[in-house]
Amino acid sequence: MVTSAVNHYFKSSIGRKQLIAITGLLLCGFLVGHLTGNFLLLAGPDAFNLYAHKLASLGPMLYLIEAGLALIFLSHLALAVKLNIENMKARGKYQQKTKTGRGTTFASQTMPITGVVLLVFLILHLCSLKFGSYYETTVGGVLMRDLYKTTLEYFASPVATGWYVFAMICAAVHTSHGFASAFQTMGWNHGKYFKNVKRLGLVYAIFVGGGFAFVSIWCHMKGV
């Protein structure tokens, strides 16, 4: 029987699921912040570079935030991998198709696949932009990195833009299930408001996926 409740939480099915839910929602929040920054690309090179420079000059604070983000992302990933391995073992191996058509959705069934796409995307994304080509520019007499040029240069390639848009579709599909699912897992499901949570999840998925894809296509059209 259970004696140490908190210790049990981090080992149990529900406890680990709730950690996936919370880290997932935090990542959803991060995406909104990231997208807001991306929209500055539309405002021109100076606005975007100034914003990137402000972030970079946070110094140790930025490293702390980045470490936190990495921790959230890696826990989300590690817990989800373990959960999926357990579930693959636990499920019944049927000869026939067992879908009712009233439960699972395309998004709910493809969570591991869209998740893996996003992992690969994230690694490539960091390599090609954050740690990508380095140019310098001066805005208002201050020397700073010209991330605007790096970004436009990257999206000049139709392959890069196409891959980016595909990854953002995966992000939209992933969050379209994940957002509302996180609420259910945390126990925030009541007949009174859960329909609206589901709607909000859908709006979020379309807004975030569409927003990132839109900016990338805009960059591609603009050219170097």
Residues that bind another protein (CB under 8 A): 1-3, 5-6, 8-9, 11-18, 83, 86-87, 89-105, 108-109, 111, 177, 180-181, 184-191, 194
Unique residue bearing structure tokens 């969570």: 111
- Which lies closer to another protein via its Cβ, residue 92 or residue 140? 92
> How would you classify the pairing of strands 142-145 and 136-139?
antiparallel
Q: How far is the CB of 176 from another protein (least distance, A)?
A: 12
Buried b or exposed e, range 129-157, using 16+ CB within 10 angstroms = eeeeeeeebebeeeebebbbbbbbbbbee
Helix, strand or coil for residue 206? helix
Unique residue bearing structure tokens 């259970």: 2
Q: How far is the CB of 73 from another protein (least distance, A)?
A: 19
- Which lies closer to another protein via its Cβ, residue 96 or residue 143? 96
- Which lies closer to another protein via its Cβ, residue 40 or residue 173? 173
Q: How far is the CB of 213 from another protein (least distance, A)?
A: 26
Query: Side chain identity at 163, as an amino acid letter?
Result: W
- Which lies closer to another protein via its Cβ, residue 59 or residue 96? 96
Closest by CA position to 125, among listed 67, 186, 171: 171
Neighbours of 19 (CB within 10 A): 19
Q: How far is the CB of 189 from another protein (least distance, A)?
A: 3
- Which lies closer to another protein via its Cβ, residue 178 or residue 211? 178
- Which lies closer to another protein via its Cβ, residue 199 or residue 222? 199
**Dihedral sign for Cα atoms in the order 76, 151, 168, 91:** negative
Rounded CA separation 175/77 (Å): 14
- Which lies closer to another protein via its Cβ, residue 1 or residue 143? 1
Task: Specify the long-range contacts of residues 55-62, CB closer than 8 Å, at least 24 apart.
Answer: 56/144, 56/145
Planar angle of CA 202, 207, 210, nearest 5 degrees: 115
Q: How far is the CB of 97 from another protein (least distance, A)?
A: 5
